């Protein structure tokens, strides 16, 4: 994605070197396009030794299987987003437990972060959100090995099944209210 017009004043943007990097900037006002990020989250739900998966109904990877999930809305926390996405896509109600791992892609034009979250199964009836998902199922670990499951989903499921090292949400409570601490 290349920004053409200033989102602040509508003037045509130019490319300038700022802080040692080429960036889109506005010659008419102070706007600088610093970054373009996306934040997504997926949920790992285990019930009686089986993992909740969805079969994608849309490109990319249409027909492939993944853990349920989607993009985090601006006003939401990660844990709200992942519980909402799992409920919307599968009909299953859950409670967030913690973060098990992440997927990340970073390019000059964009940086994408996807957090895999462990969720506790609460209840509900399997019901696929047919606009996005072809099927929803709890699958055994044997089936997991046989189905065309996306590599990141597979890795996050394996991590979620090893509870050691799980980063509990309690440790991240204020991240969305305060500055980032390392
Ligand atoms: Zn401007």
Helical segments of 62-150, H only: 78-90, 141-146
Ligand 1 centroid–CA 23 distance in Å is 14
179 or 58, higher pLDDT: 58
Mean pLDDT confidence for 127-144: 94
- With a pLDDT cut of 70, the percent of the chain lying above it is 87
CATH topology classification for 1-34: Ubiquitin Ligase Nedd4; Chain: W; (2.20.70)
Those residues whose C-beta lies under 8 Å from the C-beta of residue 24, and which sit 6 or more positions away, are 2, 3, 13, 14, 15, 32, 33
Q: How far is the centre of ligand 1, averaged over its atoms, from the C-alpha of 107 (Å)?
A: 24
Q: pTM of the prediction? A: 0.81
Cα of 13 to ligand 1 centre, how many Å?
A: 7
CA of 95 to the centre of ligand 1 (A): 44
Please tell me the distance between residue 6's alpha carbon and the centre of ligand 1 in angstroms: 5
If we measure between CA atoms, which residue out of 29, 25, 35, 30 comes closest to residue 4? Answer: 25
For the cut 50, the answer to whether the pLDDT of residue 67 exceeds it is yes
Which tens digits make up the pLDDT trace of 2-36?
Answer: 789 999 999 999 999 998 988 899 999 999 998 88
Place of tokens 């009686």: 48
Centroid of ligand 1 to alpha carbon of 29 (angstroms): 4
Residue 163 pLDDT greater than 80, yes or no: no
pLDDT of amino acid 168: 65
| Domain spans of the chain, in order of start | 1-34, 37-172
Residue 2 Cα to ligand 1 midpoint, Å, equals 15
pLDDT band, very low/low/confident/very high, at 179 (cuts 50, 70, 90): very low
What's the CATH superfamily of 37-172? Nucleoside Triphosphate Pyrophosphohydrolase (3.90.79.10)
Q: Are 160 and 77 in contact (CB under 8 A)?
A: no
Q: Is the pLDDT confidence value at 139 over 50? A: yes
91-117 pLDDT, tens digit per residue, is 999 999 999 988 888 876 678 899 999
CA of 71 to the centre of ligand 1 (A): 28
Kindly list the protein residues that place their beta carbon closer than 5 angstroms to ligand 1, a single-atom ion.
6, 8-9, 11, 26, 28-29, 31
Residue 182 pLDDT exceeds 90: no
């Amino acid at each position: 994605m290349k920004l053409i017009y200033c989102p602040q004043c509508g003037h045509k943007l130019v490319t300038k070197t700022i802080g040692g990097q080429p960036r889109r900037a506005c010659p008419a006002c102070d706007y600088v396009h610093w970054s373009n990020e996306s934040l997504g989250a997926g949920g790992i739900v285990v019930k009686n030794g089986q993992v909740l998966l969805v079969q994608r109904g849309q490109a990319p990877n249409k027909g492939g299987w993944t853990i349920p999930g989607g993009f985090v809305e601006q006003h939401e926390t990660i844990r709200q987003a992942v519980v909402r996405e799992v409920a919307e896509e599968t009909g299953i109600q859950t409670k967030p437990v913690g973060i098990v791992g992440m997927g990340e892609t970073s390019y000059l034009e964009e940086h994408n972060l996807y957090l895999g979250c462990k969720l506790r199964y609460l209840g509900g009836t399997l019901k696929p959100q047919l606009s996005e998902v072809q099927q929803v199922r709890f699958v055994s670990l044997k089936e997991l090995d046989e189905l065309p499951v996306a590599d990141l989903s597979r890795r996050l499921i394996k991590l979620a099944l090893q509870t050691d090292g799980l980063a509990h949400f309690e440790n991240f409570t204020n991240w969305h209210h305060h500055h980032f601490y390392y």
